Structure 1
Amino acid sequence: MVVHNNFNNNQTSYSNLQSLKNGKQKTILHSCLNQVWIIPSLFTLLIAIACVYTLIFPNIHKILQIYNFTVTSEILEASPAVESTDCDVFDGRWVEDDSRYPIYNSTDCPFAERGFSCFENGRKDKEYLRWQWKPKKCNIPRFDVEKALEMLRGKRVVFVGDSLSRTQWESWVCMLMEGVKNKESVYEINGSKITKTIRHLGVRFKDHNITVDFYRSVFLMNKSYDVPAGAPKNVRMTVRLDLVDDISDQWIDSDLLVFNTGGWWTENRLFNEMRCFFQIGNSLEFGISVIDGYKMALNTWADWAEANINPNRTTLFFRTIESTHWRGPNQCDVSEKPLNETKGKEKSEKSDIIMETVEKKMKRVAVRIMHLTPMGSYRSDAHVGNWGDNPSVQDCGHWCLPGFPDIWNEIIISHFLPKIPSFSS
């Protein structure tokens, strides 16, 4: 038998391994000692980073805002056609545009009320007609009357509210008439003349089968001279906070429905001038403030809309409060150009109530809010002023035609309706 003894070979191998290992450790240690400068360098670097962080971080949000604003502004200026799917068309600024307005001449439109036709009543300057509303993140396409008439063919458009709603109705009709060759084919369906108190006005565009109606309902609620028995003598009429206007059934059968209310909801106008008080059921409610009454009325309106509007047919808009620019009781200064600052007029408690009510109450029916308060807060130049039908009475609550209301309609017709299938098709 042959026995192989590998002991010596193994020991030799082990010794070699130990020698190699010791040599490697010495080499690493030597290398680290030679590069010991790295540690203080790293320490110095950490201190520098900490200093930069301390200096910059408190202002980093401001730096990012400035950068973002600059880039956004440059993109908007360089590419005017830029659009955004989440654009808030009511967030923007006024820019001069000599080529876009006016869309029509009020003296040539038989449906423009004389009291709003400032040019016809002697206003000489035309600066107020030069301003275009430019949203921050998109553009409002230029009004194209031929496209508008085709888009509205066979449709019924209804405006409901106070005199500011009537102004919008007049603007809408005059804008569309610019594309009608046979002016006689456009007529008021009842043969009525435009007055401030008439409850219903309707204009028919015969060749395009379009009807544009206005219903005067300053509170949107039922108003009655039949006051409850035992009411104090100073109560002349009431507004039912729990009941929508009795002509509301005439609003429903529409393709486009636009509401507004707010101007008449003041303590002086209601309680003092009109001697009008709130009613719920058969009871007079003297303890309800105007603002609380406004909230209750809008909630009643929202319940009515949810129960009666067909969302598959009717597109619904609600306008917020437009800013007025009164300097004092029955005194106003009409400027030559839009204001540079709003002085708080961009905010309105009633506008906030409108938006809050729609958000909380409307579930089945979609409502598009036209938030006109901020954009109107600059336009002290666009009011009627002394150029109404009675020059001795100043007016900083209504708007000249043509003028600011045309832009409300341009936003609806050119921005919103082309995105709605029932109109775009």
Structure 2
Amino acid sequence: MAAWQPLHSLSTTAWLAAGFLSLALLHLLCCSPPVTQDAVFTPLLQYVNTTHSFLSSSSGRRSCDYSEGRWVWAPGHARRYNGTACGVKEGQDCLRNGRPDTGYLDWRWQPAGCRLPAFDARAFLSAVRGKHVAFIGDSMARNQAESLFCLLSAAAPHRVVHRDPEPHRRQFVRWAFPTHGVTVSLYWAPYLARSAGKSENYSMPYNLVYLDAPADRWAADADTMDVVVLSAGHWLLNSAVYHNGSGVIGVHAHPELNRTDIGYASPFRQAYRTAVERLSRSGRPRAVVLATFSPTHFENNRMDDPAACARKEPYRDGEKELNRLEEELRSIVVEEAEAAARMNGGDVRFEVLDVTKLAAMRPDGHPGPYMNRDPFAHGARERMQTDCLHFCLPGPVDTFNEMLQQILTKRR
């Protein structure tokens, strides 16, 4: 009997420990705030997800879908650079502009079934050594391009090759990382296709878009590009007159004109097709990444409400659903990328940077009224400029580049 005593004693101790652990977990689940729960359970979930990802890859199955997941509490995860020091657009430099809450910097995107690694600037530069990385599109393309420059500038010597003298415009920007022979460029082309009017001069009352031709500046440089990120969508929702060749094929949101209203979806699809066709025909090996739509968070569609995007935490999974427009714009990009991949069997590789869901869940990451310096210095006003579209830098848009890094390195 004596020989069995230690085993019996150990068994009793193990059961007691398991009981206390179960009670502690129950207390966390029922009585602790969500942030505390994330801080405790996230490491365990990371271990489970990492193990699952390894086993899946070992058995030949690719289980990582970065577009699906949830935001988890990760203190300090997005505090990786000083936006002022790397020269981000002033309207997205939220800390400089006096935003007092900084919790939006303490979240990490946790995909379902795998883990999204943190951005590794040295690895990114090595992966694109000697290459030209180009962002083409609207102000969300600029938001992501500036994020990438700031993430990379913390790891390697760099210089600004060109920046528009007017700080509010930034229609063409180019950065260089000489030690790796890397160039990063931003091309303002909110329709991807050639356009005139308000898209080039904000004082103009109209937009003219020529869907059969890519925008001039980026099209002229297309044969120098090795990695291209196409990111557009928001300007397609504005009123415009659309041309194909020399003739008008329709309008969007111009009821005063006696023309067929063709909406936004058809021009949006055609704009991506025109861009993809230009990037496919040079014979240059390259990766073309089509970014999906990043939703806005203007409460009640008011752009002058200082509380339009005042939420302090991300939405939880299932708390916020995409609306019909967001789903449609996302689907068009995915469909066009898949069609391009089927049609181009050569050296051009097409990928989707699917950010719609993760961006939709981050109403806390926008500048809001802090698009301007110290907006409440003279007291609160009922109406003031508010940005609930772009993301603060640093901020959630850095996650777009974490995903981009995985896209570019997954088949090397």
TM range (shorter): 0.7 to 0.9
Give the structure 1 partner of residue 66 of structure 2: 89
AA at the equivalent of 2:173: L
Is 1:416 paired with 2:386?
Answer: no
Structure 1, unaligned stretches of length 5 or more? 1-72, 226-233, 271-275
AA at the equivalent of 1:359: E
The alpha-carbon distance between structure 1 residues 338 and 191, as it changes in their structure 2 partners (threshold 3 A), is closer
**2:127 and 2:322 mapped to 1: Cα distance?**
38
For 1:258, which of 206, 229, 232 is the aligned residue?
229
Give the structure 2 partner of residue 344 of structure 1: 322
The alpha-carbon distance between structure 1 residues 322 and 237, as it changes in their structure 2 partners (threshold 3 A), is closer
Give the structure 2 partner of residue 23 of structure 1: none
AA at the equivalent of 2:182: I
Give the structure 2 partner of residue 334 of structure 1: 310
For 1:281, which of 245, 270, 273 is the aligned residue?
245
**2:327 and 2:49 mapped to 1: Cα distance?**
34
**2:235 and 2:274 mapped to 1: Cα distance?**
17
> How many residues are matched?
326
**2:195 and 2:365 mapped to 1: Cα distance?**
32
Is 1:304 paired with 2:275?
Answer: no
Give the structure 1 partner of residue 21 of structure 2: none
**Maintained 8 Å contact 1:334/1:396:** no
Give the structure 1 partner of residue 399 of structure 2: 407
- Summarize deviations over 1:335-374 as a string: whole Å, max 9, x none: 1100131143494211111112222344214311111111
AA at the equivalent of 1:377: A
Structure 2, unaligned stretches of length 5 or more? 1-42, 198-203, 250-258, 376-383
TM-score, length-scaled by structure 2: 0.73
**Maintained 8 Å contact 1:162/1:216:** yes
**2:166 and 2:146 mapped to 1: Cα distance?**
9
**1:291 and 1:213 mapped to 2: Cα distance?**
28
**Maintained 8 Å contact 2:162/2:172:** no
**1:382 and 1:321 mapped to 2: Cα distance?**
16
SS at match of 1:412: helix
**1:148 and 1:98 mapped to 2: Cα distance?**
23
**2:209 and 2:77 mapped to 1: Cα distance?**
42
SS at match of 2:281: helix
Q: CA deviation at 1:296?
A: 2.5
Is 1:171 paired with 2:143?
Answer: no
The alpha-carbon distance between structure 1 residues 384 and 339, as it changes in their structure 2 partners (threshold 3 A), is same
SS at match of 2:78: coil
Give the structure 1 partner of residue 80 of structure 2: 103
Q: CA deviation at 1:383?
A: 1.0
Q: CA deviation at 1:194?
A: 6.6
Give the structure 1 partner of residue 371 of structure 2: 388
- Summarize deviations over 1:213-272 as a string: whole Å, max 9, x none: 0000000111146xxxxxxxx995520122221221313312211011101011xx32xx
For 1:398, which of 379, 390, 400 is the aligned residue?
390
- Summarize deviations over 1:177-234 as a string: whole Å, max 9, x none: 1113xxxx52221364473434321011223322110000000111146xxxxxxxx9
**Maintained 8 Å contact 1:323/1:345:** no
Q: CA deviation at 1:394?
A: 0.7
**1:135 and 1:103 mapped to 2: Cα distance?**
21
**2:221 and 2:398 mapped to 1: Cα distance?**
25
Percent of residue pairs bearing the same amino acid type? 27
Q: CA deviation at 1:92?
A: 1.1
Q: CA deviation at 1:417?
A: 2.6
AA at the equivalent of 1:105: N
The correspondence of residues 202-221 of structure 1 with structure 2, limited to 5 A, is: 202-221=174-193
Of structures 1 and 2, the larger Rg is shown by 1
**1:79 and 1:377 mapped to 2: Cα distance?**
23
- Summarize deviations over 1:375-404 as a string: whole Å, max 9, x none: 111101001101113643011111100001
The correspondence of residues 190-201 of structure 1 with structure 2, limited to 5 A, is: 190=162, 192-193=164-165, 195-201=167-173
The alpha-carbon distance between structure 1 residues 289 and 318, as it changes in their structure 2 partners (threshold 3 A), is same
For 1:244, which of 214, 230, 239 is the aligned residue?
214
Give the structure 1 partner of residue 15 of structure 2: none
